[in-house]
């Protein structure tokens, strides 16, 4: 069981585009760091993120009792650690940040994970990992096609309630569809809104598979996107929340999960 | 009597002119931004080859994804029907047709008269379509025409590449390049992945001899030889596999002309 004896653990969440590290003593978050992946190896970036986190927390790397690894790229993190599966991390992490959440979806750069949970335990789990259409990657491609950054895309989408339907599910086909829509003189704001709506529909579909129960929470890289949350709220017919430190929910969940085994 | 078929695909537009004996002219151009303009241009190109004018053509049928955008066609017919009909004219013994274009992939089962018995189609996802190969070419810097041969000459064996999603496959390819794998090995893995998807589509209709492959993909020896190996049958390929749909359309034009007593 989780104790408050001050056990020091780190969670490393190695995703498709970023490495997230959280350091916890018992249930106290001491520090966290998020680094973008680049040309360095995943292991090197993870080491750097871990060292940075230790510095922020003012502790020594040697004080860490146990490291937990999660995320789709966890097997490329060549550090001594215990692998904790993503649904367990998500359930524990959300319990730490927002214990009232019952339905949670983590929207990653390459895949999404929806769970129904209670008291840190996942009760139902669904992944959308086979294709990029239900992931943050879809929005990356839309933004790049419209020559905008993600924040601009979000603001543009929020500037209207009207939308143009983006019919292609496949991210690659959506790219050409959006080019066609731009050339057909459709309003950029409505194209953006349409793209958000399409992604929201797929994420909502994943939520329905685990069963929608309030409180509903979105975490992960895209959870800060107000336009996506707005579209999801419309579909779900209820408020969609996001955790304050939405990026590190999984990493915290991993650090908490490994405390059990570390005793 | 001259008859014409026009096939407007997502990446190329094809025209075929036939007389009672067979093909007299054909042409192929990129579709570009306007399918209507492409249809006119491709038709003019084919007509110029035999010194004919559009008024000399008794009947014209359009097909393909832009088939409704051909104002001078008397009728439009789905590409599924046209491919079955066109292959049947070329190879009467064919019962399974695999056609892969720029943006879709279809498997068709047809009877001895070239009629469609069953078909399966992927037009929702770029994995398993020509688009995947185009992007593979872009990310590896290997020209489209060299992908097939090079994929058949791996150095250390194929490197695993995601077979479900073209976006993930691209990530895999870029990662493998960064990791220093041989380009031929990466191409072998990527073509394995695309064939995996194609075979799934064919299995939905059940492959029955003989097999024919048409569309741009038929020119990719890497794809063709892998499909042959997986299905255990040789593929019959026309001299110009990209005009099969247009041939089918021209044959439907002949039916129409005969029916209307011309």
Q: How do the domains of chain B map onto residue ranges?
A: 1-91+239-262, 93-237
Q: How many domains does chain A contain in total?
A: 2
pLDDT at residue A3 tops 50: no
Low-confidence residues in chain B, pLDDT < 50? none
pLDDT at residue A1 tops 70: no
Q: Which helix (H) or strand (E) covers residue B197, if one does?
A: helix B183-205
Model pTM score = 0.81
Nearest residue of chain B to residue A172 (CA atoms): B126
Beta strand segments in B74-146, E: 75-76, 96-100, 105-110, 116-122
Same domain, A40 and A111: no
Same domain, A158 and A78: no
Alpha carbons B131 and B169: distance in angstroms, whole number: 12
The values of phi and psi at residue A130, to 5°, are -75, -25
Same domain, A111 and A31: no
Q: Are A220 and A108 in contact (CB under 8 A)?
A: yes
Sorted by sequence, the CB contacts under 8 Å of residue A48 that are 6+ apart come out as A35, A40
CB–CB contact A132 B165 (8 Å): yes
- Smallest CA-to-CA distance from B146 within B138, B158, B137 is with B137
pLDDT band of A174, cuts 50, 70, 90:
very high
Measured between beta carbons, the chain A residues lying within 8 angstroms of B135 are 172
Kindly report the average pLDDT of chain A as a whole number.
Answer: 92
pLDDT digits (tens, 9 = 90+) for B185-243: 999 999 999 999 999 999 999 999 999 999 988 999 999 999 999 999 999 999 999 99
Nearest residue of chain A to residue B163 (CA atoms): A130
Same domain, A158 and A53: no
Alpha carbons B102 and A173: distance in angstroms, whole number: 11
Kindly report the average pLDDT of chain B as a whole number.
Answer: 93
Best of A131, A135, A137, A171 to mutate (most B CBs within 10 Å, chain B)? A131
Q: Residue A234's CB: how many other CB atoms inside 10 A?
A: 13
State how far residue A14 is from chain B, nearest Cα, in angstroms: 15
Alpha carbons B3 and B253: distance in angstroms, whole number: 6
Sign of torsion over alpha carbons A19, A24, A27, A32: negative
A39, A130, A170 ranked by CB distance to B124: nearest? A170
pLDDT of residue A261: 63
Same domain, A196 and A225: yes
Tokens of A243: 């955790």
Same domain, A37 and A148: no
CB–CB contact B168 A132 (8 Å): yes
What's the CATH code of the domain at A40? 3.30.420.40
CB–CB contact B125 A131 (8 Å): yes
Instruction: Give the architecture (CATH level 2) of B1-91+239-262.
Output: 2-Layer Sandwich (3.30)
Same domain, A79 and A16: yes
Same domain, A115 and A223: yes
Answer whether residue A1 is part of any domain. no
CB–CB contact A170 B178 (8 Å): no
Best of B139, B168, B172 to mutate (most A CBs within 10 Å, chain A)? B168
Same domain, A130 and A231: yes
Same domain, A181 and A258: no
Answer whether residue A2 is part of any domain. no
Best of B37, B102, B125, B197 to mutate (most A CBs within 10 Å, chain A)? B125
Same domain, A236 and A256: no
Same domain, A63 and A126: no
- Which range marks the domain in which residue A17 is found? 8-98+248-262
The CATH code of domain B93-237 reads 3.30.420.40
State how far residue B200 is from chain A, nearest Cα, in angstroms: 15
The values of phi and psi at residue A142, to 5°, are -60, -45
């Amino acid at each position: 069981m989780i104790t408050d004896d001050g056990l020091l653990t780190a969670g490393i969440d190695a995703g498709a585009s970023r490495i997230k590290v959280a350091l916890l003593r018992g249930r106290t978050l001491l520090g966290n760091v998020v680094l973008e992946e680049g040309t360095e190896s995943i292991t090197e970036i993870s080491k750097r993120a871990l060292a940075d986190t230790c510095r922020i927390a003012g502790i020594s790397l040697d004080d860490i009792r146990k490291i937990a690894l999660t995320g789709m790229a966890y097997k490329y993190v060549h550090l001594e650690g215990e692998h904790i599966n993503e649904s367990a991390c998500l359930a524990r992490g959300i319990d730490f940040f927002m214990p009232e959440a019952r339905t949670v979806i983590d929207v990653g750069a390459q895949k999404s994970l929806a769970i129904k949970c209670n008291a840190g335990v996942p009760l139902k789990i669904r992944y959308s990992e086979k294709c990029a259409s239900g992931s943050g990657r879809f929005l990356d491609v839309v933004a790049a096609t419209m020559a905008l950054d993600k924040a601009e895309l979000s603001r543009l989408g929020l500037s209207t309630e009207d939308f143009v339907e983006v019919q292609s599910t496949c991210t690659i086909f959506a790219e050409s569809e959006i080019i066609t829509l731009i050339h057909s003189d459709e309003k950029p704001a409505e194209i953006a809104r349409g793209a958000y709506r399409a992604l929201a529909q797929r994420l909502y579909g994943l939520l329905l598979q685990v069963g929608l129960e309030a409180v509903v929470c979105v975490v992960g890289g895209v959870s800060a996107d107000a336009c996506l949350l707005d579209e999801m709220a419309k579909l779900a017919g209820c408020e969609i929340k996001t955790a304050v430190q939405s990026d590190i929910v999984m990493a915290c969940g991993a650090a908490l999960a490994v405390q059990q085994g570390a005793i | 009597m001259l008859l014409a078929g026009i096939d407007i695909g997502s990446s190329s537009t094809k025209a075929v002119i036939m007389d009672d004996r067979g093909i007299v002219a054909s042409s192929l151009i990129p579709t570009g931004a306007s399918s209507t303009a492409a249809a006119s241009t491709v038709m003019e190109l084919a007509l110029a080859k035999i010194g004919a004018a559009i008024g000399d053509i008794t009947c014209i049928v359009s097909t393909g994804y832009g088939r409704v955008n051909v104002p001078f066609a008397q009728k439009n017919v789905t590409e599924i029907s046209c491919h079955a009909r066109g292959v049947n004219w070329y190879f009467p013994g064919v019962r399974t047709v695999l056609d892969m274009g720029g943006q879709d992939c279809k498997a068709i089962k047809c009877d001895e008269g070239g009629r469609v018995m069953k078909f399966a189609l992927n037009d929702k996802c770029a994995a398993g379509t020509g688009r995947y190969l185009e992007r593979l070419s872009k990310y590896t810097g290997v020209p489209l025409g060299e992908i097939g041969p090079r994929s058949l000459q791996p150095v250390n064996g194929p490197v695993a590449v995601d077979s479900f999603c073209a976006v993930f496959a691209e990530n895999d390819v870029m990662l493998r390049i960064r990791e220093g794998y041989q380009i031929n090995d990466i191409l072998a893995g990527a073509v394995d992945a695309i064939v995996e998807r194609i075979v799934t589509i064919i299995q939905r209709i059940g492959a029955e001899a003989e097999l024919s492959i048409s569309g741009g993909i038929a020119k990719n020896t890497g794809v063709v030889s892998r499909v042959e190996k997986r299905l255990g049958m040789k593929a019959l390929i026309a001299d110009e596999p990209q005009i099969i749909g247009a041939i089918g359309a021209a044959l439907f034009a002949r039916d129409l002309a005969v029916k209307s007593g011309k």
